[in-house]
A and B are shown apart, each in its own frame.
Chain A
Amino acid sequence: MQQIYLDYASTTPLAEEVVAEMGALMNNSSYGNPSATDHFFGKQAHELIENARLEVASLINSLPDEIIWTSGATEANNLAILGLSRFKATDSKRQIISSFAEHKSVIEPCKQLEKEGLELLLLSPNTNGSIDINELEKAISEKTLLVSLMHINNEIGSINDIRSMGHVCRKSNIFFHVDAAQGIGKLPIDVKDCNIDLMSLSAHKIYGPKGIGALFIDKESVGRIEPILSGGGQERALRPGTLATHQIGGMARAYRIAKDKMADDHDHLMACRTVFLDNCKGLTGMQVNSNPDHAFPGILSISTKGLHAESIIYDMRTIAVSKGSACTSDSEEPSHVLKAMGLSQDCINGTVRFSFGRNTTLEDAQFASELYRNSVNRLNHLRGIK
């Protein structure tokens, strides 16, 4: 049975060019330790890494030496939030503002800092899943040190207006961190224009390898932060550890492709979403958990009131998607994002996240919507609802 992958928000397959690039890097003479620049092999690796840094920087309009390699966006979020707060907090600047819609790799470090004595304020998303700029303006005060908000929400695709948020933060002399794990390479981000001080980046959400990411740290506005790891001087001692040359090369290649294809990818995802939704019109109890005019088209979170997402997914069998909520797995909490948006438990239980990608065909989207429709109708029949 052929499987259709519609879980691109979770991770993406490697682009062919990335596979080729990484394969070549693992086979050539760049295997030297990039820190060992006293010899040819180390120099080769070092040069490759610096070129990659340039590539990543050019996608976000930063300087190359403002990019710090990490193992992924989770580490980048931890480094940004813990590292900045521990280094910059003062008696008068001790508050962190974030939101309930953030990824756990943002919320958990924030909670850790709260335990360490800082003040934490989590904003609730509006019914579209994004943070209102007015709410942010109302929340910030003289004691606010850091605002950490995401660009595109990983569960529902809502988009925060990071440009306006960055402006508000800069005006108030507050550091602004953006978790761009879902947004990078999908929507244009100019860190200078958006007044972003720190930004977390991932590779595997845009057809790059897993296990590599980066943190942008603005040289002028931030400068130094405190490392969360110790044991080496790599990455200006902010992130010690031997750099993974082939991973970094793969990430750079993925970013270059994303830069070239961003507009086409976006149009394609819009078309996939339209096909899917058009085919699901009129389905009993269905609701889309974002405002299509203000959401990333690659992520489609749909709730069917009263049903259980796990059974919908099980019934569709050939479509690889994610539950929008973990509540039926017994051991996990219900989706904190959907909960924060005010969705009822009945809707949260029945939430499925479809996420489209570069390799999704319109036929895939059409087929998936038909399966979804059939599954919803069948499960409604099983529970005695016409």
Chain B
Amino acid sequence: MTQDSTRHYFDKEEHVYDACGDQHSNYILGTASNPLGMQINLYFKVEEGTITDAKYNVNGCPTLVAITAYYVEKVIGRDLEDCTDFKAFAIHEIIDLPKNRMDRILLLENAVNACIDQKETEVK
């Protein structure tokens, strides 16, 4: 079940940020990377405290690609302040996450936190 979901979200491209086509002036960007050369760029469009659209670019193992795609799909429509509540996303229940891949969640968290930091900087 979870392996099927990993494949499903790995294959999905619906919310991939198109560097050529997408206009990102009204999106906030959060970036995170790790020493293995993996990277996530998250783009949130926030209107009145709600994430009305989200996109991503990702480079890494299949697990990282899948959890990023899954997270972005689920975060749309949530309040910005709720987007770090990772338990609510139930990623572990949906995506196959081997023990030695748990740090991929942390990478995703870092990217989300970077988005929030960006938003806070904008507000200030």
Q: Mark A279-293, 1 if CB is under 8 A from B, else 0.
A: 000000000000000
Q: A310 at interface (Cβ–Cβ under 8 A)?
A: yes
* Residues B58 and A308 in contact, CB atoms below 8 Å apart: no
For A311, give its contact among B13, B17, B57, B61 (CB under 8 Å): B61
CA distance A26 to B65 in the complex (A): 49
Do A330 and B65 contact each other (CB < 8 Å), given the known contacts A308-B59, A383-B39? no
Q: Which residue of B lies closest to A309 (CB)?
A: B61
Q: A117 at interface (Cβ–Cβ under 8 A)?
A: no
* Residues A306 and B10 in contact, CB atoms below 8 Å apart: no
Do A384 and B37 contact each other (CB < 8 Å), given the known contacts A315-B10, A331-B100? no
For A, the interface residue count at a CB cutoff of 8 angstroms equals: 23
Q: From residue 1 to 47 of chain B, which have CB atoms closer than 8 A to chain A?
A: 10, 13, 16-20, 36-39, 41
Q: A138 at interface (Cβ–Cβ under 8 A)?
A: no
Q: A335 at interface (Cβ–Cβ under 8 A)?
A: no
For B58, give its contact among A306, A345, A383 (CB under 8 Å): A383
Do A306 and B37 contact each other (CB < 8 Å), given the known contacts A314-B62, A382-B16? yes
Size band of the interface chain B makes with A = 20 to 34
Q: Mark B72-96, 1 if CB is under 8 A from A, else 0.
A: 0000000000000000000000000
Q: A327 at interface (Cβ–Cβ under 8 A)?
A: yes
**Chain B residues with CB under 8 A of A306:** 37, 59
* Residues B101 and A330 in contact, CB atoms below 8 Å apart: yes
* Residues A384 and B62 in contact, CB atoms below 8 Å apart: no
Q: From residue 355 to 386 of chain A, which have CB atoms closer than 8 A to chain B?
A: 378-379, 381-386
Q: Mark A26-69, 1 if CB is under 8 A from B, else 0.
A: 00000000000000000000000000000000000000000000
**Chain B residues with CB under 8 A of A346:** 37
**Chain B residues with CB under 8 A of A308:** 37-38, 59-61
Q: A274 at interface (Cβ–Cβ under 8 A)?
A: no
Q: Is the interface of A mostly helix, strand, loop or mixed?
A: helix
Q: From residue 67 to 114 of chain A, which have CB atoms closer than 8 A to chain B?
A: none
* Residues B101 and A311 in contact, CB atoms below 8 Å apart: no
* Residues B62 and A311 in contact, CB atoms below 8 Å apart: yes
For A349, give its contact among B16, B19, B20, B36 (CB under 8 Å): B36
Q: From residue 316 to 357 of chain A, which have CB atoms closer than 8 A to chain B?
A: 327-331, 345-346, 349
**Chain B residues with CB under 8 A of A327:** 36
* Residues A310 and B62 in contact, CB atoms below 8 Å apart: yes
* Residues A379 and B59 in contact, CB atoms below 8 Å apart: yes
**Chain A residues with CB under 8 A of B10:** 311, 314-315
Q: A307 at interface (Cβ–Cβ under 8 A)?
A: yes
CA distance A216 to B17 in the complex (A): 59
CA distance A307 to B39 in the complex (A): 10
Q: Mark A148-168, 1 if CB is under 8 A from B, else 0.
A: 000000000000000000000
**Chain B residues with CB under 8 A of A314:** 10, 62
**Chain A residues with CB under 8 A of B101:** 330
* Residues A382 and B19 in contact, CB atoms below 8 Å apart: no
Q: From residue 100 to 116 of chain B, which have CB atoms closer than 8 A to chain A?
A: 100-101
**Chain B residues with CB under 8 A of A383:** 39, 57-59
Sort A-B residue pairs by CB-CB distance and give the 6 closest, nearest first: A384-B57, A383-B59, A314-B62, A384-B19, A330-B100, A310-B61
7 A-B contact pairs sorted by A residue (CB < 8 Å): A314-B10, A315-B62, A327-B36, A328-B36, A329-B100, A384-B19, A386-B19
Residue ranges of A at the interface with B (Cβ–Cβ < 8 Å): 306-308, 310-311, 314-315, 327-331, 345-346, 349, 378-379, 381-386
Residue ranges of B at the interface with A (Cβ–Cβ < 8 Å): 10, 13, 16-20, 36-39, 41, 57-62, 65, 100-101
Further contacts, 5 of them, CB under 8 A, given A328-B61, A383-B57: A306-B59, A308-B60, A345-B37, A383-B39, A386-B19
